[in-house]
Amino acid sequence: MNNGNDTASGSGKATSKQRRRIVLAAAASAVAGGAAMVLRPSGVIIPYPHGSPLIVELSDLPEGKLRTVEWQGKPVWILRRSAKELAALAEQNPLLADPDSQQSLQPPACRNQTRSLRPEILVAIGLCTHQGCTPALLGREGFLCPCHTSKYDLAGRVFKVGPATANLVIPAYHFASENQLLIGLDA
């Protein structure tokens, strides 16, 4: 797997049809957003992040390349994973703090082993859930946070070895077309 990062400011221009869909979807999301939450052990209910739609083109994203875009002032990672990497995810489960993402933030449709809508595409907030440092991609081994060595697999699921206990946050997103990702809104 290529370790290269691809940082981009983010999006293509939305067509008028896409803009209309974004406005309608934003209104719907504002109404429906309260249903998508996780209850932390502390009893605090936290919603996964929505809003401020950003379109990202995926046609030029090769396998193994990590693209970073800025959304709501945060880095959002987009990674195209290989079939081999996806198959290896199941082997990690015994080593993970929250393998089924029960205590982690993601849209309900992403509470699965790949933590994604499409198996090959990972979309995640690129901030460590311990104290917010930016982890680095280590190829097939996943991501390592340099601050206190928390480690995440290629689905953003955290290993038990470090201080972080929650998986990387997955924002609301959907695919506007075959090669267009829309971050910020559910389908």
Q: Which residues bind ligand FES (CB under 6 A)?
A: 128, 130-131, 133, 145, 147-148, 150, 162-164
Least Å distance, CB 97 to ligand FES, is: 12
Least Å distance, CB 82 to ligand FES, is: 26
Torsion on CA atoms 57, 62, 63, 66, rounded to nearest 10: -60
Nearer to ligand FES, 66 or 128 (CB): 128
Tell me the β-bridge partners of 96: 159
Decide: residue 85, CB within 10 A, 0-12 exposed, 13-18 middle, 19+ buried: buried
Least Å distance, CB 137 to ligand FES, is: 14
Nearer to ligand FES, 50 or 151 (CB): 151
Least Å distance, CB 142 to ligand FES, is: 13
Decide: residue 119, CB within 10 A, 0-12 exposed, 13-18 middle, 19+ buried: middle
Which of 50, 130, 148, 174 is labelled catalytic? 148
Determine how many CB atoms are found less than 10 A away from the CB of residue 161. Answer: 11
Decide: 85 and 1 in contact? Cβ < 8 Å: yes
What is the token pair recorded at 88? 């290896």
Decide: 100 and 140 in contact? Cβ < 8 Å: no
Nearer to ligand FES, 74 or 80 (CB): 74
- The answer to whether residue 148 is catalytic is yes
Instruction: Give the whole-angstrom CA distance, residue 173 versus residue 59.
Output: 17
Decide: residue 166, CB within 10 A, 0-12 exposed, 13-18 middle, 19+ buried: buried
Nearer to ligand FES, 128 or 182 (CB): 128
Give the residue numbers marked as catalytic.
148
